[in-house]
Amino acid sequence: MGKPAASTEPEPAIALPGIRSIAEELFDHLRDAIVRNEIPAGTRVVEEIVATRANVSRTPVGQALRRLQATGLLRASQHGLVVNELSADELSETCTVRDTLEALAARLAAASRTDLDVALLEEATSRFEAAIGGEVSEIVELNHMFHEIVWEAARNTYLKQNLELTRSLIERLNSTTLASEERQREALREHRAIVDAIIARDADLAESTTREHFRKATAIRVLSKRAEGRWTVKPA
C-alpha cells in the first residue's frame, strides 16, 4: 500500500497468525482490509511494501496479490496494482453471480437439511423479526446469519467460499439494502418463504424464492450505484 509522497509516517506492520501458508494468510489479511475499506478503492498495493510490512519475502506476497487480482479486488493500472472499484455494470454482473449461487445453496439445503438446520433457520428468522426497526447493523448481522445457515445446510464448502467472496465484493460498495424498515419487513416475509420451502424439502421452490429474494436486493443495489454516479459532481 502506498501513502502520499509527503508523508513520512511508517505504515503499520502486518501480523500474520502463522497457522497456514504465508501467501494464504496475506491474501486473507489484504482481502479483509479491502472489504472493510481500510484500503480504499484506487489505493496502490505495492509488493515490496507489503513484504516489508509483513516481514516476509516477496514470493508469497506476489502469490497473494495475484489471487486478489483474480478475484477482482485488485486491478492492473499504469501505476501498478490498485484496489478496484466496481462500476454499476460490474456490480450488476457480480450480483447476478451471487444471486445464482445463493439460489443453488437453497436448492442444496432443501435436499440435505437436518432438523438442526431447520431449528437454526427458525431461530435466526425470529431474531431478525425482533430486531426490525432497530439498529441497522444488527439487522445486517442477523441477515448474514440467516443466509450463512442456508450455506451450511447446503453441505458444499466450495460453494460457501465463493458466496463469502461475492458477498464481500458486493458489500464493499454497498453495505446493505436493509436500511429501511419497509425493506426489512419485506425481507422477513421472503426469509420465511425460503424456510418453508427448505422445511418441505421443495428444492425448486427454495431455489426460486431465494432467487427472487436476491433479485430484489440486486435491483436496489444497482439503482443506488447508478444514482450515485449520476449525482456525483465531477471537477471541471
pLDDT in tens, 186-233: 999 999 999 999 999 999 999 999 999 999 999 988 888 888 765 444
Q: 119 and 193 share a domain?
A: yes
Give domain status of residue 117, yes or no. yes
Q: How many domains does the chain have?
A: 2
Q: 57 and 133 share a domain?
A: no
Q: Which DSSP helix (H) or strand (E) runs through 74?
A: strand 74-77
Q: 204 and 128 share a domain?
A: yes
User: Which of 37, 65, 83 is at the close of a domain?
Assistant: 83
Q: Which DSSP helix (H) or strand (E) runs through 168?
A: helix 157-173
| In the chain, % of residues over pLDDT 90 | 71
Give domain status of residue 98, yes or no. yes
Tell me what the mean pLDDT of segment 133-152 comes to. Answer: 96
Is pLDDT of 32 > 60?
yes
Give domain status of residue 8, yes or no. no
CATH number at residue 98: 1.20.120.530
Tell me what the mean pLDDT of segment 57-69 comes to. Answer: 96
Q: 50 and 93 share a domain?
A: no
pTM: 0.76
Give domain status of residue 16, yes or no. no
Q: 57 and 147 share a domain?
A: no
Q: 78 and 136 share a domain?
A: no
Q: 105 and 219 share a domain?
A: yes
Q: 141 and 181 share a domain?
A: yes
Name residue, grid cell 439503482: 223
Q: Which long-range contacts (CB under 8 A, 24 or more apart) does 137-143 make?
A: 139/176, 139/178, 139/184, 140/175, 140/176, 140/178, 143/176, 143/178, 143/187
pLDDT grade for 234, boundaries at 50, 70 and 90: very low
As a whole number, the mean pLDDT across the chain is 90
Is pLDDT of 5 > 50?
no
User: Which of 39, 59, 83 is at the close of a domain?
Assistant: 83
pLDDT of residue 41: 86
Give domain status of residue 4, yes or no. no
Give domain status of residue 28, yes or no. yes
Q: 149 and 184 share a domain?
A: yes
Q: 53 and 117 share a domain?
A: no
Give domain status of residue 189, yes or no. yes
Reading phi first (left if > 0) and then psi (alpha if -120 to 50, else beta), residue 18 is in left
Tell me what the mean pLDDT of segment 87-91 comes to. Answer: 85
Phi and psi for 74 in degrees, rounded to 5?
-120, 150
Tell me what the mean pLDDT of segment 37-65 comes to. Answer: 95
| Spatial separation of the C-alpha atoms in residues 96 and 215, rounded to whole Å | 8
pLDDT of residue 229: 61
CATH number at residue 61: 1.10.10.10
Give domain status of residue 188, yes or no. yes
Q: 107 and 162 share a domain?
A: yes
- The domain of 204 spans 88-226
Is pLDDT of 3 > 70?
no
5 or 42: whose pLDDT is higher? 42
Q: 69 and 184 share a domain?
A: no
pLDDT of residue 8: 45
pLDDT of residue 165: 83
